[in-house]
Protein backbone atom coordinates (compact mmCIF):
# COMPACT_ATOMS: atom_id res chain seq x y z
CA UNK A 1 0.00 0.00 0.00
CA UNK A 2 1.18 3.49 -0.86
CA UNK A 3 0.73 6.02 1.93
CA UNK A 4 1.56 9.70 2.13
CA UNK A 5 2.01 11.55 5.39
CA UNK A 6 0.36 14.98 5.42
CA UNK A 7 0.66 16.65 8.80
CA UNK A 8 0.04 13.35 10.59
CA UNK A 9 -2.90 12.36 8.40
CA UNK A 10 -2.33 9.05 6.62
CA UNK A 11 -3.75 8.84 3.11
CA UNK A 12 -3.85 5.35 1.50
CA UNK A 13 -3.92 5.14 -2.28
CA UNK A 14 -4.26 1.35 -2.76
CA UNK A 15 -2.07 -1.12 -4.59
CA UNK A 16 -0.48 1.08 -7.25
CA UNK A 17 3.01 2.03 -8.26
CA UNK A 18 2.41 5.74 -7.69
CA UNK A 19 -0.15 8.21 -6.39
CA UNK A 20 -0.58 9.46 -9.95
CA UNK A 21 -1.61 6.00 -11.10
CA UNK A 22 -3.94 5.64 -8.15
CA UNK A 23 -5.74 8.85 -9.00
CA UNK A 24 -6.13 7.72 -12.61
CA UNK A 25 -7.90 4.47 -11.73
CA UNK A 26 -11.63 4.45 -12.66
CA UNK A 27 -13.98 4.82 -9.70
CA UNK A 28 -14.71 1.38 -8.26
CA UNK A 29 -14.90 1.92 -4.50
CA UNK A 30 -18.31 3.59 -4.43
CA UNK A 31 -20.07 1.79 -1.58
CA UNK A 32 -23.72 0.79 -1.32
CA UNK A 33 -24.58 3.75 0.91
CA UNK A 34 -23.17 6.26 -1.57
CA UNK A 35 -24.99 4.59 -4.45
CA UNK A 36 -28.28 4.71 -2.55
CA UNK A 37 -27.75 8.35 -1.65
CA UNK A 38 -27.01 9.20 -5.27
CA UNK A 39 -30.30 7.65 -6.41
CA UNK A 40 -32.17 9.93 -4.00
CA UNK A 41 -30.06 13.00 -4.76
CA UNK A 42 -31.08 15.88 -7.05
CA UNK A 43 -27.50 15.88 -8.35
CA UNK A 44 -26.03 13.79 -11.17
CA UNK A 45 -23.52 11.08 -10.16
CA UNK A 46 -19.94 11.86 -11.22
CA UNK A 47 -16.71 9.93 -11.64
CA UNK A 48 -14.01 12.63 -11.93
CA UNK A 49 -13.26 15.75 -9.88
CA UNK A 50 -11.55 19.03 -10.83
CA UNK A 51 -10.48 21.54 -8.20
CA UNK A 52 -9.73 25.22 -8.60
CA UNK A 53 -6.76 26.29 -6.46
CA UNK A 54 -6.77 29.94 -5.37
CA UNK A 55 -9.25 30.51 -2.57
CA UNK A 56 -10.47 26.92 -2.83
CA UNK A 57 -7.50 24.70 -1.94
CA UNK A 58 -5.09 27.47 -0.93
CA UNK A 59 -5.85 30.62 1.06
CA UNK A 60 -4.32 32.87 -1.60
CA UNK A 61 -7.26 35.11 -2.47
CA UNK A 62 -6.65 37.00 0.76
CA UNK A 63 -3.04 37.48 -0.32
CA UNK A 64 -4.15 38.69 -3.76
CA UNK A 65 -6.29 41.33 -2.07
CA UNK A 66 -3.38 42.55 0.05
CA UNK A 67 -1.05 42.76 -2.95
CA UNK A 68 -3.45 44.52 -5.32
CA UNK A 69 -4.64 46.95 -2.67
CA UNK A 70 -1.05 47.86 -1.79
CA UNK A 71 -0.21 48.66 -5.40
CA UNK A 72 -3.48 50.45 -6.15
CA UNK A 73 -3.03 52.63 -3.07
CA UNK A 74 0.15 54.02 -4.64
CA UNK A 75 -2.16 55.65 -7.18
CA UNK A 76 -4.71 56.79 -4.57
CA UNK A 77 -7.13 54.00 -5.49
CA UNK A 78 -8.67 51.17 -3.46
CA UNK A 79 -9.00 47.56 -4.57
CA UNK A 80 -12.35 46.57 -3.06
CA UNK A 81 -14.57 43.51 -3.10
CA UNK A 82 -16.92 44.82 -5.78
CA UNK A 83 -13.99 44.76 -8.19
CA UNK A 84 -12.38 41.63 -6.78
CA UNK A 85 -15.56 39.64 -7.40
CA UNK A 86 -15.37 40.55 -11.09
CA UNK A 87 -11.78 39.43 -11.67
CA UNK A 88 -11.58 36.32 -9.45
CA UNK A 89 -10.59 33.28 -11.48
CA UNK A 90 -9.09 35.24 -14.37
CA UNK A 91 -5.47 35.03 -15.49
CA UNK A 92 -3.30 37.80 -14.05
CA UNK A 93 -3.09 39.96 -17.17
CA UNK A 94 -6.82 39.65 -17.92
CA UNK A 95 -7.68 40.70 -14.38
CA UNK A 96 -5.16 43.53 -14.44
CA UNK A 97 -6.75 44.92 -17.59
CA UNK A 98 -10.11 45.09 -15.82
CA UNK A 99 -8.59 46.75 -12.76
CA UNK A 100 -6.76 49.38 -14.83
CA UNK A 101 -9.96 50.22 -16.70
CA UNK A 102 -12.32 50.28 -13.70
CA UNK A 103 -9.95 52.26 -11.44
CA UNK A 104 -8.53 54.39 -14.26
CA UNK A 105 -4.97 53.64 -13.19
CA UNK A 106 -2.23 55.63 -14.98
CA UNK A 107 -0.31 52.43 -15.82
CA UNK A 108 -0.72 49.57 -18.27
CA UNK A 109 -2.02 46.13 -17.26
CA UNK A 110 1.49 44.76 -17.83
CA UNK A 111 2.95 47.34 -15.44
CA UNK A 112 0.29 46.56 -12.84
CA UNK A 113 1.07 42.83 -13.04
CA UNK A 114 4.79 43.56 -12.64
CA UNK A 115 4.30 45.79 -9.58
CA UNK A 116 1.91 43.35 -7.93
CA UNK A 117 4.23 40.41 -8.63
CA UNK A 118 6.95 42.00 -6.50
CA UNK A 119 4.59 42.05 -3.52
CA UNK A 120 3.24 38.57 -4.26
CA UNK A 121 6.74 37.08 -4.31
CA UNK A 122 6.94 37.60 -0.56
CA UNK A 123 3.31 36.77 0.20
CA UNK A 124 2.54 33.63 -1.80
CA UNK A 125 5.02 31.26 -0.13
CA UNK A 126 3.12 31.84 3.14
CA UNK A 127 -0.16 30.43 1.73
CA UNK A 128 -1.93 27.84 3.87
CA UNK A 129 -4.35 25.10 2.83
CA UNK A 130 -8.02 25.99 3.13
CA UNK A 131 -10.11 24.24 5.81
CA UNK A 132 -11.20 20.78 4.72
CA UNK A 133 -8.95 20.66 1.64
CA UNK A 134 -6.50 18.03 2.91
CA UNK A 135 -9.20 15.76 4.35
CA UNK A 136 -11.31 15.87 1.19
CA UNK A 137 -8.46 15.27 -1.25
CA UNK A 138 -7.01 12.42 0.81
CA UNK A 139 -10.45 10.83 1.01
CA UNK A 140 -10.77 10.78 -2.78
CA UNK A 141 -7.23 9.45 -3.25
CA UNK A 142 -7.95 6.70 -0.72
CA UNK A 143 -10.99 5.66 -2.76
CA UNK A 144 -9.20 5.98 -6.12
CA UNK A 145 -11.41 8.79 -7.40
CA UNK A 146 -9.57 10.60 -10.24
CA UNK A 147 -8.80 14.19 -9.23
CA UNK A 148 -7.15 17.14 -10.99
CA UNK A 149 -6.48 20.85 -10.49
CA UNK A 150 -7.64 23.45 -13.03
CA UNK A 151 -6.22 26.87 -12.14
CA UNK A 152 -5.69 30.17 -13.93
CA UNK A 153 -2.39 30.63 -12.11
CA UNK A 154 0.65 30.73 -14.35
CA UNK A 155 3.45 28.28 -13.61
CA UNK A 156 5.82 30.77 -11.93
CA UNK A 157 3.20 31.92 -9.42
CA UNK A 158 1.88 28.39 -9.01
CA UNK A 159 5.32 27.29 -7.85
CA UNK A 160 5.48 30.12 -5.31
CA UNK A 161 2.03 29.37 -3.91
CA UNK A 162 2.59 25.63 -3.60
CA UNK A 163 6.18 25.74 -2.36
CA UNK A 164 5.17 24.54 1.12
CA UNK A 165 2.61 22.01 -0.12
CA UNK A 166 4.45 19.85 -2.68
CA UNK A 167 3.28 16.54 -1.20
CA UNK A 168 -0.32 17.68 -1.20
CA UNK A 169 -0.34 18.71 -4.86
CA UNK A 170 1.47 15.50 -5.82
CA UNK A 171 -1.77 13.69 -4.96
CA UNK A 172 -3.50 15.03 -8.07
CA UNK A 173 -3.45 13.10 -11.35
CA UNK A 174 -2.58 16.30 -13.22
CA UNK A 175 -2.60 20.08 -12.86
CA UNK A 176 -3.70 22.41 -15.65
CA UNK A 177 -2.30 25.94 -15.23
CA UNK A 178 -3.19 29.19 -16.92
CA UNK A 179 -0.23 28.99 -19.32
CA UNK A 180 -1.11 25.52 -20.58
CA UNK A 181 -0.81 25.72 -24.40
CA UNK A 182 -4.36 24.47 -24.93
CA UNK A 183 -5.93 27.01 -22.56
CA UNK A 184 -6.54 29.84 -25.01
CA UNK A 185 -8.96 31.82 -22.82
CA UNK A 186 -9.09 32.06 -19.03
CA UNK A 187 -12.18 31.69 -16.86
CA UNK A 188 -15.11 32.44 -17.36
CA UNK A 189 -14.34 30.63 -20.63
CA UNK A 190 -14.45 26.82 -20.25
CA UNK A 191 -10.98 26.06 -21.70
CA UNK A 192 -9.37 25.21 -18.34
CA UNK A 193 -11.99 22.59 -17.51
CA UNK A 194 -12.19 21.08 -21.00
CA UNK A 195 -8.41 20.57 -20.92
CA UNK A 196 -8.55 19.23 -17.36
CA UNK A 197 -11.14 16.61 -18.37
CA UNK A 198 -9.17 15.70 -21.48
CA UNK A 199 -5.95 15.04 -19.53
CA UNK A 200 -7.38 12.28 -17.36
CA UNK A 201 -6.28 8.82 -18.50
CA UNK A 202 -8.55 7.86 -20.13
CA UNK A 203 -10.11 11.28 -20.86
CA UNK A 204 -13.24 12.08 -18.86
CA UNK A 205 -16.58 13.09 -20.31
CA UNK A 206 -17.36 16.65 -19.11
CA UNK A 207 -20.80 15.52 -17.92
CA UNK A 208 -19.07 13.06 -15.57
CA UNK A 209 -16.93 15.78 -13.94
CA UNK A 210 -17.65 17.76 -10.80
CA UNK A 211 -15.81 21.06 -10.35
CA UNK A 212 -15.02 22.76 -7.03
CA UNK A 213 -14.73 26.55 -7.33
CA UNK A 214 -14.68 29.69 -5.22
CA UNK A 215 -15.08 32.32 -7.96
CA UNK A 216 -18.14 33.31 -10.02
CA UNK A 217 -15.98 33.21 -13.17
CA UNK A 218 -14.94 29.67 -12.35
CA UNK A 219 -18.54 28.63 -11.78
CA UNK A 220 -19.52 30.07 -15.17
CA UNK A 221 -16.61 28.27 -16.83
CA UNK A 222 -17.59 24.91 -15.32
CA UNK A 223 -21.26 25.26 -16.24
CA UNK A 224 -20.33 26.31 -19.78
CA UNK A 225 -18.20 23.16 -20.01
CA UNK A 226 -21.28 21.09 -19.16
CA UNK A 227 -20.06 20.16 -15.68
CA UNK A 228 -21.72 20.37 -12.31
CA UNK A 229 -20.02 22.75 -9.91
CA UNK A 230 -19.77 23.14 -6.14
CA UNK A 231 -19.29 26.80 -5.25
CA UNK A 232 -17.47 27.63 -2.00
CA UNK A 233 -17.57 31.45 -2.11
CA UNK A 234 -15.76 33.86 0.14
CA UNK A 235 -18.20 35.21 2.78
CA UNK A 236 -17.62 38.72 1.41
CA UNK A 237 -18.81 37.79 -2.09
CA UNK A 238 -22.19 39.15 -3.15
CA UNK A 239 -24.66 36.24 -2.62
CA UNK A 240 -26.29 37.10 -5.94
CA UNK A 241 -23.10 35.91 -7.66
CA UNK A 242 -23.39 32.44 -6.11
CA UNK A 243 -26.87 31.49 -7.32
CA UNK A 244 -25.99 29.69 -10.55
CA UNK A 245 -23.88 26.89 -9.04
CA UNK A 246 -25.11 23.33 -8.71
CA UNK A 247 -24.42 23.43 -4.97
CA UNK A 248 -23.22 26.24 -2.70
CA UNK A 249 -21.30 25.48 0.51
CA UNK A 250 -19.68 27.60 3.20
CA UNK A 251 -16.62 25.34 3.36
CA UNK A 252 -15.11 22.23 1.79
CA UNK A 253 -15.67 20.70 5.22
CA UNK A 254 -19.41 20.67 4.47
CA UNK A 255 -19.20 18.58 1.28
CA UNK A 256 -21.04 15.24 1.30
CA UNK A 257 -19.51 13.03 -1.43
CA UNK A 258 -22.44 10.62 -1.48
CA UNK A 259 -24.71 13.32 -2.94
CA UNK A 260 -22.81 12.87 -6.21
CA UNK A 261 -22.48 9.09 -6.07
CA UNK A 262 -19.01 9.21 -4.52
CA UNK A 263 -17.79 7.21 -1.51
CA UNK A 264 -19.00 8.68 1.76
CA UNK A 265 -16.64 9.56 4.58
CA UNK A 266 -15.98 6.68 6.97
Q: Is 234 an active-site residue?
A: no
Selecting among 54, 94, 191, 214, the annotated active-site residue is 54
> What span, in angstroms and rounded, lies between the C-alpha atoms of 91 and 229?
20
CB 130 within 8 A of CB 252: yes
CA distances (Å), origin 255, targets 133, 189, 265: 10, 25, 10
DSSP letter for 211, please. Answer: E
Contacts of 161 (CB under 8 A, 6+ apart): 53, 54, 58, 60, 124, 125, 127, 153
* CB-count exposure of residue 42 (10 Å: 0-12, 13-18, 19+): exposed
> What span, in angstroms and rounded, lies between the C-alpha atoms of 204 and 6?
28
> What span, in angstroms and rounded, lies between the C-alpha atoms of 162 and 157?
9
Q: Is 52 an active-site residue?
A: yes
The residues assigned a catalytic role are 52, 54
Amino acid sequence: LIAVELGGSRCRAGVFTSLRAAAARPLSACNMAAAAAARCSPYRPVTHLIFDMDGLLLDTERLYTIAFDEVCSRYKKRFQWELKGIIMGMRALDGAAVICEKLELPITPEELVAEVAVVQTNLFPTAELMPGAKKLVCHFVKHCVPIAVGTSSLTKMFELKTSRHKEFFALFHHIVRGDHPEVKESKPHPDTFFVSAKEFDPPACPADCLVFEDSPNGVTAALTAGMQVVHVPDPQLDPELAKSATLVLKSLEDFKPELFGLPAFD
